[in-house]
Each structure stands twice: as structure tokens, then as C-alpha cells.
Amino acid sequence: MAQPQVDTASEHLNGGKKPALRIEHLSKTFPGTRALDDVSLDAYRGEVLALLGHNGSGKSTLIKVLAGFHRPDPGAEAWLDDDPLRLGDPDDAKRHGLRFVHQDLGLIRELNAVDNVALTIGYVRTRSGRVHQGVQVSRTQELLAQFGVELDVLQPLGDASPVERTSVAIARAMWDWDQGPRVLVLDEPTAALPSREVSRLFEVIAKVRAAGHVVIYVSHRMEEIFDIAERVIVLRTGRVVGRGLTSDQTPAKLAALIAGHSVEDGRHIGSAPPLGGVALRIKGLHGRYLRGIDLEVHRGEIAGVAGLLGSGRDELPYAVAGAVPSSADAPWVLDGREVPTPTSATAPGLGIAFVPAERDREGLVPDFTVAENLTLGALPELRERGMFLLPRREHNQARQWLQDIGVGAETADRPVTSLSGGNKQRVLLARCLYTNPSLLVLSEPTAGVDIGARQALYELLRERARLGLSILLCSSDTQDLVEACDRVMVLRNGQVAETMVGAEINAERIVFVMESVR
């Protein structure tokens, strides 16, 4: 597990400049996982620092610590212009001029730019206490003009373009930027932007940089880094694995750093060749992001799907499970039979089981016990004589299943919310598996699941595949794809950009292909 620390540029290659934001020895431990491990970070005025890393790399934990949402483990130190910064204290972060624009922007789409801005910076009132609408409007216009944003400030932001909304969010976060130095943290601002709008966003960011503020820029898209960032820092499993000037880097080098080499270790090579014929064949699958994907999953195969947000990777599992509407050029072929496009109600009957991405929101019923969550998918099988559900029989079955999947029979009557992420995922998997599906569709199966539990999940999936289950595994975590899958399709712009089979599957290549623009 020994990881060579790949410092691609020494910290002193900074032209004698002094970092404005300095963080040292930052660790953050959650029960069961170490999200950040002795991270240090330097960011300079008038520069953009790109923060890279995949899901679970600790990126978002780092941002949350900066914002004061998480308290770091003792020993962490931070300074802003030599002034100590108390990490984990939201008020102190605000006082030091740390400003955040999160991925969802935090704007209210029903309100216009004037009100959205005023919610943060306050309203101008007349003496009688009325909102001074005229002053308010001109103040908002002036603020947006400073960032080169032109839009109708009186129309609801829902009608504005995505890049305009992002710009408004940035302007709102930096509204008092002329009153002192600021640190602007942008969390994947381009994730939801069409690529042609990215350059407009970069003009806004360039203005912030030119004014001498610090910008920390989190992104998945490789090309952008080279366009906008002076420096780059790469996190993997909570540790800094690379840092330095962007000009010293190449996309391939960064992809290697992000993906890491260690993933090769866990690789299961010699994956069994597909046992039988085609379990599922869809020709020309179209949806919101999907643009004519030809999908085939073989019997006994674990087929992986990679891709960035918006590439169709998120949508594909939902479309295959019938949870979102989709269209195809020809009827689906499932186990050799032509079937109508499933809905989530008909999918179980067709032998398609689904584990959705957001475990708590889309998977579990929080007010149900563990046993009730487990049996939700298999209720018809537990039914005896007409409509009766026998509590004793259901309970015994549930205990047996819980035992089998290693969650423990004694958890049956506990609230499902008391389980860990990994165990919740096992309960969901078991719910699916005990209906004996022919196709299992998984979306983000290891999100929030710690390392040890991951291996157990992979093992469970492989074992099921050996028994003939076909699995479609869609994940933003390359580790899942490399360690569990027999074949990986990389999606880009709603189409399959590349397919890798067996030993060709390689984390660097996956990252490189999905983050290319072509």
C-alpha cells in the first residue's frame, strides 16, 4: 500500500511569492474512514488553484472544512496572510473573507437576480422601512457589471442561462470584494454547464483573479484546468498525491495522479468470459443526456459504465431500470425476448432489479425497520394464500437474509437509519438479489462505503455474476470499474466514447477518455 508521494514540483518553485492561504497538517476522521490525511495546501493571490480528485478523494471534505461545516482533527493549522484561521468555524471563515459557490449555486430560481443578491447582502430600505426597489436594482446591476455579467436583473433566475446563474452566484459571493482580500472557492462550477458557456464563466473568474483574490477551483474536466489554473493540487484517498504548476503537467500525467496506480493491485484479471448469450440488448437508447447508445450486457458479465456528470452515466442506469422515460430505436431484447420499454413498476417482473444512486433518498424507507426495507422488493414472494403476509415468516426470512449478507440477524427490527453506509447498501443489494433478477442495475454502488466494505461488495457482485447474474454497474468511481468490471464503456456527451475489455481496463485511460473534450 506504500504510495510514492509524487510531488511534481517542489513547494518552493513559486517565484519567491508568499502564499496567501496556507493549510498544514489537516486531517479529518469520520467513523470508519479517514477522509483527509495530513493535507497541506498553499494558494496564492491573483492565481487560480485547481483542486483535483475523484469521488472519495477528500476534495469535498476539504471544502467543507474550509467552510466551517466540518471540524478538522486536532493538529490542523491554517493562516490567511499570516493571520491564523480557525478551521471548522464558519464565522471565522466568513470573517477571513472565504467565499463559497457550491455546485448547486444556492440560488432561488423563482426569484430574480435582485432578490437573490439581496438575500445575501441585505436590502436597502427607505426611512419608512419599505424596500428601496430602485436603489436595489441599480446596486445589483452595478455589482453584476463589475463581473461583466449582463442580464435582466428583474427576470426570475430560472429563465437565465446556466452560466448566467453561475455568474450571479459568484458575484453574490464576492459582493464586497473591493473591501479586502477574498478567497473564492468554486466547487465544480462547470459540471452543469454546456462546454460553449465555459469560456464565459472563465471571463468572470479571470476578473476575480485579476483583482488579486485567491481562487480555488474544483473540477473534473481536465482541459479546463490548463485554461484557467496556474497551480494544481491532486488528492487521492485523502492524501495529497501531486501538486505544482499547471504548466509542468500534461493531461495524461494528471489523469495518472487522480486515478493512482494502486488500483491495479486489486484488479481481478482473467475475468470469466461471458457465460451465455446476450442478457440485454438495447439499440439507440435516447434520453435526456443519452444520445443513441447501443447497450449490450451478457449473461454473467459485470459491465461497467464510466463518464462525467452530464455524459449520460447518471441517466443510463435509471433508463435501463425504467425509472426515467427513454426511447430506443428498436424494442429492447431481454433474455432473447422482445419486451416493451420497462417502467419502474414493470421492471421487477421483467427480472430487472435496481439499486439507485442516492441510497437514503431513493433507496431506503427511513421509517421502516431493516427487515421491512429488505423485504420491500420481495413482498409478493413472501405472500401466502392470496394476499396474506405472515409476519413470522417474513421476519424469519429477513433474519436469514441479513445473516447471509453479513449485516447480522439481530439488526432486523432496528431502524434502518442506524446502519452504516456499507450495510445500508448491502440491505439494498439483498432486496434486489432475493427476487432472483436476471439483470442487476447499480448506480454509484460504493458512494459513502468505506474501503473494507467495498471489497466485500465487489466480492458479492462477482460471486453473483459467476452464478449467471448480469450486472450493469454505473459509477463515477474508477475503482469500482477497474476492480469489479469485465468490460467498461466510457460515456461522453451521451455516447459511448470507448469500450475496454478485461485487461485493457485501466483507470488512467478511463479518466483520460471521459475527461477529453473530443
Partner 1 sequence: MSQAVRDPDSVASASAGDEDRGQSEPGALGRLLALGRVERLGAVYVLIGIIILFSVWKPDIFPSWTTAKSVLNQNAIPALAALSLVVPLCTGVFDLSIGNVMALVSVTIAWLVVQLGVPIGVAIVIAIAMSMAVGVLNAVIVVVIGIDSFIATLGTGAVLLAIDYLISNDETVTNGHLSTAFGSIAQSSVGGVQVPVFAVLVVAVLLWWLLEHTVTGRRLYATGFNEEASRLAGVRTKRLRFLGLIVSATVAGIAGLLLTSQIGSGSPDIGPAYLLDAFAAAFLGATQIRAGRFNAPGTIIAVLVLGTGTAGLTIVGAQAWALSLYTGVVLLVALALTRIERKQVRAGRTLT
What is the three-class DSSP state of 305?
strand
What is the Cα–Cα distance from 506 to 499, expressed in whole angstroms?
11
Tell me the window of 114-122, 245-253, 353-361, 460-468 that interacts with partner 1 (CB under 8 A): 353-361
385 contributes a contact to partner 1 by CB under 8 A: no
Nearest CA among 462, 446, 463 for reference residue 454: 446
The string of DSSP letters for 162-204 reads HHHHHHHHHHHHTTTGGGS--EEEEESTTTTS-HHHHHHHHHH
Tell me the window of 11-19, 81-89, 185-193, 399-407 that interacts with partner 1 (CB under 8 A): 399-407
Q: Judged by CB, which is closer to partner 1: 35, or 402?
A: 402
Draw the binding track, 443-472, toward partner 1 (x: CB under 8 A; -: no contact).
----------x--x----------------
Beta bridge partners of 490: 306, 498
Q: Judged by CB, which is closer to partner 1: 156, or 408?
A: 408
- What is the closest distance, in whole angstroms, from the C-beta atom of residue 34 to partner 1 in the complex? 18
- What is the closest distance, in whole angstroms, from the C-beta atom of residue 363 to partner 1 in the complex? 5
| Near partner 1 by CB under 8 A: residue from 8, 40, 146, 420 | 420
What does the CA dihedral 174, 177, 179, 180 come to, rounded to 10 degrees? 110
Is 106 in contact with 130 (CB distance < 8 Å)?
A: no
344 contributes a contact to partner 1 by CB under 8 A: yes
Question: How open is the CA angle 361-364-370, to the nearest 5 degrees?
Answer: 150
- What is the closest distance, in whole angstroms, from the C-beta atom of residue 335 to partner 1 in the complex? 18
Q: Judged by CB, which is closer to partner 1: 194, or 366?
A: 366
29 contributes a contact to partner 1 by CB under 8 A: no
384 contributes a contact to partner 1 by CB under 8 A: no
Q: Judged by CB, which is closer to partner 1: 141, or 397?
A: 397
| Near partner 1 by CB under 8 A: residue from 260, 422, 445, 494 | 422
| Near partner 1 by CB under 8 A: residue from 388, 466, 468, 504 | 388
Is 320 in contact with 472 (CB distance < 8 Å)?
A: yes
- What is the closest distance, in whole angstroms, from the C-beta atom of residue 399 to partner 1 in the complex? 7
Q: How many residues sit close enough to partner 1 to count as binding (CB under 8 A)? A: 52
Nearest CA among 8, 78, 84 for reference residue 36: 78
347 contributes a contact to partner 1 by CB under 8 A: yes
Is 192 in contact with 165 (CB distance < 8 Å)?
A: no
Residues 364-383 that bind partner 1 (CB under 8 A): 364-368, 372, 375-377, 379-380, 382-383
Q: Judged by CB, which is closer to partner 1: 52, or 402?
A: 402
- Burial of residue 40 (number of CB atoms within 10 Å: 0-12, 13-18, 19+): middle
Tell me the window of 73-81, 109-117, 346-354, 469-477 that interacts with partner 1 (CB under 8 A): 346-354
- Burial of residue 20 (number of CB atoms within 10 Å: 0-12, 13-18, 19+): buried
Tell me the window of 4-12, 115-123, 270-278, 409-417 that interacts with partner 1 (CB under 8 A): 409-417
- What is the closest distance, in whole angstroms, from the C-beta atom of residue 483 to partner 1 in the complex? 19
With a CB cutoff of 8 Å and minimum separation 6, the contacts of 308 are 191, 220, 221, 476, 492, 514, 515
Instruction: Give the count of beta carbons closer than 10 Å to the beta carbon of residue 271.
Output: 19
Draw the binding track, 298-337, toward partner 1 (x: CB under 8 A; -: no contact).
-----------------------x-x--------------
State which amino acid sits at residue 404: D
Q: Judged by CB, which is closer to partner 1: 21, or 429?
A: 429
Tell me the window of 13-21, 87-95, 416-424, 495-503 that interacts with partner 1 (CB under 8 A): 416-424
What is the Cα–Cα distance from 50 to 254, expressed in whole angstroms?
11
Tell me the window of 131-139, 167-175, 362-370, 477-485 that interacts with partner 1 (CB under 8 A): 362-370
- Find cell 420481495 and name the residue: 378
Helix (H) or strand (E) holding 120: helix 113-121
415 contributes a contact to partner 1 by CB under 8 A: yes
Instruction: Give the count of beta carbons closer than 10 Å to the beta carbon of residue 447.
Output: 17
- Find cell 458479492 and name the residue: 460
Q: Which residues bind to partner 1, rule: CB under 8 A?
A: 321, 323, 344-345, 347-349, 354, 356, 361-368, 372, 375-377, 379-380, 382-383, 387-391, 396, 399-400, 403, 406-411, 413-415, 417-420, 422-423, 431, 453, 456
